[in-house]
A and B are shown apart, each in its own frame.
Chain A
Amino acid sequence: MILLNYIASFFLITLGLYCIVTKYDLMKSVIGLSIMDYGVNLLIITVGFNPGGTAPIFTFGELNPDSFFVDPIPQALTLTSIVIGACVTAMSLSLVIKLKEMYGTTDTHEIRRLRG
């Protein structure tokens, strides 16, 4: 079960990289970045998951050494990571809009004025 999660997360990361490398369209590059980001988010959540654990919400009286719960830190990290992923998407899409206005295309082979 957990193993499947790990496989899925690395598959997503690889898929995102594959998409960025092979698709000659700015929009698809942005989609690739998002997919890669989701893969990492899944990885973070999986790392903190304990099978059978409860939600990590306790008052001080309830918390004792036998408490069995999922690790709360990766969940906090995932939230941060999701926010950053949203920023990446927003910023890259705004750049794509301006690029489309200026170059008239979203083909990466056309957008290569800076080279050499």
Chain B
Amino acid sequence: MTHYPILAIMAYFLGAFLIVIFGRNRAVRNTLGFLGTAVPLCLLIMLAKPILANGEIIAYWMGNRVPAGGYAIGIALEVDAFGLFFGLLIATAVFVAMIYSFSYMSHDDNEPQYYTLFLMLCGGVMGLVLSGDLFNMFIMVEILTFAAVALTAFRNTVFGALEAAFKYLVVGCIGSTCILAGTIMLYAQAHTLNFAQLAAFLPGNLNIATIIAYALLFIGFCTKAFLVPFHPLAADAHGAAPAPVSVLISGVLTKSGLYGIIRLTYILFRTMNLGTVQFWLVFLGSVSMFLCVTMALAQHDFKRLLAFHSISQIGYVLTAAGLATALGVSSGLYHAMNHTLFKGLLFLCAGAVLHETGTTDLDRLGGLSKKMPVTTVLFLVGAFSISGIPPFNGFASKWLIYQATYQKAVESGNIGFMLVTVCCLVTSTLTLASFVKVTQSVFFGQLPKEYEHVKEVPFGMRLGMGILAALCILTGIFPGFVQNWLTGPAARAVFQANGYIDAMMGAGYADKFGLADTLPVSFTSVGVWSPISWLCLLAIMLLAVAIVAITSKYDAVSKAAKQTDPLTLEALESATAAYLPTAPANPAPRYATGHAASGKYELFFGGEESVFSQVGGDDLFWGFKHNWRHYFKFMHELHSGIVNDYSLWAVVALALAMLYAMIIL
């Protein structure tokens, strides 16, 4: 059993190398790819019982170089419930993406190279979450970054693929270099690279070097998780990469970054009992959550929109993890799991649409539900999950996150955490809004003539999507099971750093450093019924509604003040009539009376051709967008697409993180 983790990692890499040698034949290649992803999944599932249920920790020293004299000499693999939880997630997502790839990539050139890079990426992420050595972790970060960059540029004739890959490479390398610099500064202080020994040494030895290392590592893992200053890279990379790779980048690669952040803050430095660090994580998470969902509303590309939602959901996870309560961490991990499942499903559906129609442009698609009914149903499952609609898994985890933030607000007496609850709720609403838009403009409405020939996708792709949809429903229906057997043990492992240290370095090692597990271990389970908390939640929702109502009223007042809108309907129609010779000379009276009766909404609900209105008639939320146009314009100009700007954001984030860490620690 102790050999399972290393075998799981090596199966991916072995598969990658064997495909390079024997991958010319399709059957051999597919068999190797299938085995390369199925074997690690089986191995990790076999580890689930001893680690998740019985709470054992596997310490595996490569070459049997066990610690001597209190110093870890060899390279270790350390598998606790927290690492195994992420490992299981990753293995599942990768397995499904591989099944999907068999059909999806069958028309591409260079398939062997694709599967090699695919398995390298999987091996890198798996090595990262099972590793117990900081430098080993850096190597795995580099492997996965390179594989992800190469896969982003894999279809290098696609619009923007090379550009996205280059931007990702530059900013990703800044992040990797931060991780390396942080690693080496920790080594200079602690003379070890082993997690357990660092976790014993660091909490009592915070000096200027370790604090800067903390900030460096934090920013490095933020780059891998694409948190806020790095979110444009995710959007670019997802848009250009093949759909199964989007699943890997969104469902798997971002998880490695989250894993790094939680491991760093909870176990290595044990700083999460400080209110300032909690504020740091919660603030970063809330900003990511809200900013990316508003960015998503303004997108016109299916995959780019999904990419921004992906980062928004990562923001939820970080917010919940930053609460430093047992309920918060377990709900955050729950949401991380759900994010992998539903976001993988949505990206696979986007891939199915691209596979059949050849485009992901929302303005050109429409009415596909008649031609692709299975994909539509599966997409709806994913869309309901991500929007948090009750029987699906997004509801369970988001509900727990609302509870956790609210509970934190009550316990700490800090009103700020209630604002976080409001932020979570508003973000969830905006997510639903934007998925209504996507569903309407891709799957419903009128079918364009050019897509009359579209067929349902092949069975292999439907199978991949079906597995994820089934998991979405199952984890939503049985939240108690997930909470007791998956996220609960993982959250407990996050708080029991001493047990982790002792399992690696020998019993009693943590006591020598005088460390105590100061953080809570127990937590209330899902579905806790407390009428007062429900009432307070209702009050918070009313508050959110009130804020929206007040701001929109203010906007209406300011608009009433300046009535001189030059773009009246008559002006538009005369302009259109001049522009289009075929336009009717006398517009139908319906427009005129409708316009006089209820203004812009008649334009929208009247169903006119888009030439008669300011924006496309298929955009459900143009009123909302119109009110927020200054914000959207500002954000659009900010995301300039110039690699120097994104690098500058990275440098600024690094500088701010260093300053903040120096002030608070």
Contact = CB atoms under 8 A, between A and B. Distances in A.
Interface of A: 13, 17, 20-24, 26, 29, 33, 36-37, 40, 43-44, 47, 71, 73-74, 77, 80-81, 84, 87-88, 91-92, 95-96, 98-99, 102-103, 108-109, 111-116
Interface in B223-266: 232, 235-236, 239-240
Contacts, number: 116
Nearest to A80: B139
Most buried by B among A24, A40, A74, A116: A116
A29 B644 CA distance: 8
Given A33-B170, A74-B187, A115-B636, 18 more contacts: A13-B177, A13-B181, A22-B644, A33-B173, A40-B184, A84-B139, A84-B176, A87-B146, A92-B166, A95-B169, A102-B162, A108-B643, A108-B644, A112-B640, A113-B163, A115-B639, A115-B641, A116-B298
Contact of B166 (A21, A22, A87, A95): A95
Secondary structure of the B contact surface, majority rule: helix
Most buried by B among A20, A47, A92: A20
20 contacts: A13-B181, A20-B174, A22-B644, A23-B644, A24-B644, A26-B166, A36-B174, A36-B177, A47-B184, A47-B187, A77-B135, A80-B139, A84-B176, A91-B150, A95-B169, A108-B644, A111-B643, A114-B236, A114-B239, A116-B641
A91 B177 contact: no
A106 B648 CA distance: 19
A98 B139 contact: no
Contact of A98 (B162, B232, B643, B648): B162
B379 to A, nearest CB: 24
Given A43-B184, A95-B162, A17 B651 contact: yes
A114 B160 contact: yes
B462 to A, nearest CB: 30
B164 A88 contact: no
B142 interface: yes
Interface of B: 135, 139, 142, 146, 149-150, 153, 156, 159-160, 162-166, 169-170, 173-174, 176-177, 180-181, 184-185, 187-188, 191, 193, 232, 235-236, 239-240, 298, 635-636, 639-644, 647-648, 651
Most buried by A among B149, B153, B643: B643
B108 to A, nearest CB: 17
B188 A47 contact: yes
A111 B193 CA distance: 40
Contacts of B651: 17, 21
A61 to B, nearest CB: 19
Contacts of A111: 163, 166, 641, 643
Contacts of A109: 642
Contacts of B142: 84, 87
B219 to A, nearest CB: 12
B17 to A, nearest CB: 17
B162 A91 contact: no
A82 to B, nearest CB: 12
Given A77-B135, A95-B153, A113 B166 contact: no
Contacts of A29: 170, 643-644, 647
Given A17-B174, A20-B647, A102-B162, A114 B641 contact: yes
A90 B355 CA distance: 32
Nearest to A97: B162
B184 A114 contact: no
Contact of B639 (A13, A22, A81, A116): A116
Contacts of A77: 135, 184, 187
A91 B149 contact: yes
A36 B160 CA distance: 27
B184 A44 contact: yes
Nearest to B170: A29
A29 B646 CA distance: 12
A71 B107 CA distance: 52
A103 B641 CA distance: 15
Nearest to A43: B184
A7 B146 CA distance: 30
Nearest to B167: A114
4 closest Cβ contacts across the A-B interface? A115-B641, A112-B641, A116-B636, A47-B188
A99 B174 CA distance: 21
A73 B187 contact: yes
Contacts of A96: 166
Contact of A99 (B149, B166, B232, B236): B166
A103 B184 CA distance: 39
A88 B166 contact: no
B641 to A, nearest CB: 3
A91 B636 contact: no
Given A17-B651, A92-B169, A98 B156 contact: yes
A44 B164 CA distance: 31
Contact of B181 (A20, A43, A84): A43
A37 B177 contact: yes
Contacts of A20: 170, 174, 644, 647
Contacts of A37: 177
